[in-house]
């Protein structure tokens, strides 16, 4: 099944999602790092309450896609619509209002090292809400309870383990009770037990708070546990969008390689490779001014 | 959100309606703390609340704490299944006294 066909099928017959309008609609998204195109005409739809997992190998474009979904990067072409707002054309006030409804749990936690856990978690509230400090502290401690970090409020980020940092990042991401929550590699660097507990937390949050979630991960076990649907990216293109069963039964060799974790010879664009080696870069159609990052 | 406060056999019954979010929570906090600080037992009727976010829940928690300090009772009435799921997520169902309806609350002497 082609990606297009699969996505249409899933969109018409979503598993465990409401018939309401999509929470995320991406159309024709293209992205470049300098001259190098890293996303090619990406189309994606995520429905309310759905957990969409984005998978792919290193350099597949999944982190780039996430950066565009959360508004950290502007696309060279295409459209990204979140909660009905086209963020590629939104005004700053519209983006500010949208950000109150969105949470992002970054891979490394992204906590401020000079602040204790409680102040880190309260930070979005101090930026976006006018609440009594006592109310904000109770809200932050409630979130620490939810992520099983009760009592960690006075600790500094440097005193937290990797798993605790991830949980603190989740607590901060959900402090505003977001409608839409993004996770960047939630399981990366965690042992299987801690990783599994984080998966359980993701499912628990969805059930209790009815959030829509996009989870970027390369952990197969985690993806299969939490996903309603999985988007598989390969060299900047969507290879497949389907539910877990559909991904498992795919006979696409590249997907099978991903599932079986077999390394694969990357196709080489000789001309682009030569240009990289020699430092000669062609003029991009529409380039962003970002620095490359690992996907 | 609208609020109605009425006297019910010597206790305050605070009836809430609609959505309780970041915009409404400060007013709710003030109402609840005012009621508690007047030294009477308080029941908060949530039967017509369609949504309550963490700021609203935090206001309930603070009022519960104040009630404990002033040795008055603070209970909740008719929490919807949706709100109860959020309470259970943070284990607040173990902290609050929750009654299915006003009649049960009065019968229990809340």
Q: Which residues contact A57 (CB under 8 A, 6 or more apart)?
A: A218, A234, A258, A264
Predicted confidence (pLDDT) at residue A51 exceeds the cutoff of 90: yes
B26 in contact with chain A, both atoms CB, cutoff 8 A: yes
- Taking contacts as CB-CB distances below 8 angstroms, the residues of chain B near A100 are 22
Task: Identify the pLDDT of residue A98.
Answer: 92
Predicted confidence (pLDDT) at residue A55 exceeds the cutoff of 80: yes
Predicted confidence (pLDDT) at residue A2 exceeds the cutoff of 80: no
pLDDT (mean) for B46-61: 93
- Taking contacts as CB-CB distances below 8 angstroms, the residues of chain B near A210 are 82
pLDDT (mean) for A63-85: 93
Task: Give pLDDT tens digits for A255-288.
Answer: 888 888 654 545 567 777 676 676 766 554 444 4
B33: in domain: yes
Q: Which has the minimum average pLDDT: A214-218, B29-33, B102-106?
A: B102-106
The alpha carbon of residue A64 is apart from the nearest alpha carbon of chain B, in Å, by 32
Tokens 């559909």: give the residue: A246
Is A176 within 8 Å of B22 when comparing Cβ atoms? yes
Handedness of CA A14, A18, A19, A25 (dihedral sign): negative
User: What 8-state DSSP symbol labels residue A291?
Assistant: P
Predicted confidence band of residue B9 (pLDDT cuts 50, 70, 90): confident
Overall domain count for chain B? 1
pLDDT (mean) for B50-75: 93
Please give the Cα distance from A54 to A61 (Å, whole number). Answer: 10
Task: Give pLDDT tens digits for A187-220.
Answer: 877 778 888 888 998 999 998 888 999 999 988 8
Question: Is residue A107 helix, strand or coil?
Answer: coil
B30 in contact with chain A, both atoms CB, cutoff 8 A: no
What ipTM was reported for this prediction? Answer: 0.92
Mean pLDDT taken over chain A: 84
Query: Could you tell me how many CB contacts below 8 A there are between chain A and chain B?
Result: 53
Q: Which residues contact A142 (CB under 8 A, 6 or more apart)?
A: B54, B57, B58, B61, B90, B92
B109: in domain: no
Predicted confidence band of residue B7 (pLDDT cuts 50, 70, 90): confident
B15: in domain: yes
pLDDT (mean) for A96-102: 91
Closest CA in chain B for residue A134: B62
- Among chain A, residues having any CB pair with chain B shorter than 8 Å are 100, 128-132, 134-136, 138-139, 142-143, 145-146, 175-177, 204-205, 207-210
Predicted confidence (pLDDT) at residue A17 exceeds the cutoff of 60: no
Task: Identify the pLDDT of residue A159.
Answer: 94
Residue B98 belongs to domain with CATH number: 3.30.750.24
Predicted confidence band of residue A231 (pLDDT cuts 50, 70, 90): very high
Is B26 within 8 Å of A130 when comparing Cβ atoms? yes
Predicted confidence band of residue A22 (pLDDT cuts 50, 70, 90): very high
Predicted confidence (pLDDT) at residue A222 exceeds the cutoff of 60: yes
- Taking contacts as CB-CB distances below 8 angstroms, the residues of chain A near B79 are none
Task: Identify the pLDDT of residue A122.
Answer: 95
> For residue A59, with 0-12 CB atoms within 10 Å meaning exposed, 13-18 middle and 19 or more buried, which class applies?
middle
B52: in domain: yes
pLDDT (mean) for A217-238: 93
Task: Give pLDDT tens digits for A129-185.
Answer: 889 999 999 999 999 999 988 889 999 999 998 888 988 999 999 999 999 999 998
Q: Which residues contact A52 (CB under 8 A, 6 or more apart)?
A: A24, A44, A46, A213, A214, A215, A227, A228, A229, A230, A231
Question: Is residue A237 helix, strand or coil?
Answer: strand
Of B22, B86, B90, the CB nearest to A129: B22
CB B32 within 8 A of CB B40: no
Residue span of the structural domain in which B80 resides? 2-104
- Taking contacts as CB-CB distances below 8 angstroms, the residues of chain A near B91 are 145
């Amino acid at each position: 099944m082609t990606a297009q066909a699969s996505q249409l099928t899933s969109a018409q017959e979503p598993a465990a999602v409401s018939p309401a309008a999509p929470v995320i609609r991406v159309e024709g998204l293209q992205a470049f790092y300098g001259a190098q195109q890293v996303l090619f005409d990406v189309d994606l739809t995520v429905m309310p309450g759905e957990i969409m997992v984005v998978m792919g190998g290193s350099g597949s474009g999944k982190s780039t896609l996430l950066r565009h979904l959360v508004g950290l990067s502007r696309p060279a072409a295409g459209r990204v619509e979140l909660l009905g707002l086209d963020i590629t054309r939104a005004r700053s006030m519209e983006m500010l209002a949208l950000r109150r409804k969105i949470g992002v749990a970054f891979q490394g936690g992204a906590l401020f090292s000079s602040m204790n856990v409680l102040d880190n978690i309260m930070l979005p509230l101090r930026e976006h809400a006018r609440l009594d400090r006592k109310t904000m502290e109770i809200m932050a401690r409630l979130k620490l309870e939810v992520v099983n970090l009760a009592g960690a409020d006075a600790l500094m980020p440097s005193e937290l383990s990797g798993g605790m940092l991830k949980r603190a990042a989740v607590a901060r991401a959900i402090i505003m009770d977001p409608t839409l929550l993004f996770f960047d590699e939630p399981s990366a660097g965690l042992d299987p037990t801690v990783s599994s507990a984080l998966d359980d937390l993701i499912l628990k949050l969805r059930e209790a708070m009815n959030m829509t979630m996009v989870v970027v991960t390369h952990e197969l076990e985690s993806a299969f546990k939490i996903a309603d649907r999985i988007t598989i990216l390969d060299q900047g293109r969507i290879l497949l969008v389907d539910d877990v069963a559909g991904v498992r039964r795919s006979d696409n060799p590249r997907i099978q390689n991903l599932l079986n974790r077999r390394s694969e010879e990357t196709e080489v664009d000789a001309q682009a490779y030569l240009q990289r080696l020699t430092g000669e870069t062609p003029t991009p159609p529409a380039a962003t001014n970002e620095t490359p990052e690992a996907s | 959100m609208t609020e109605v406060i009425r006297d019910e056999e010597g206790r305050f019954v605070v009836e809430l309606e609609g959505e309780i979010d970041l915009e409404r929570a400060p007013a709710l906090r003030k109402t609840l703390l005012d009621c508690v600080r007047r030294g009477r037992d308080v029941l908060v009727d949530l039967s017509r609340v369609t949504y309550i976010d963490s700021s609203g829940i935090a206001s309930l928690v603070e009022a519960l704490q104040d009630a404990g300090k002033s040795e008055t009772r603070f209970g909740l009435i008719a929490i919807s299944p949706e709100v109860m799921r959020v309470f259970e997520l943070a284990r607040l169902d173990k902290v609050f006294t929750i009654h299915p309806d006003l009649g049960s609350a009065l019968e229990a002497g809340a």
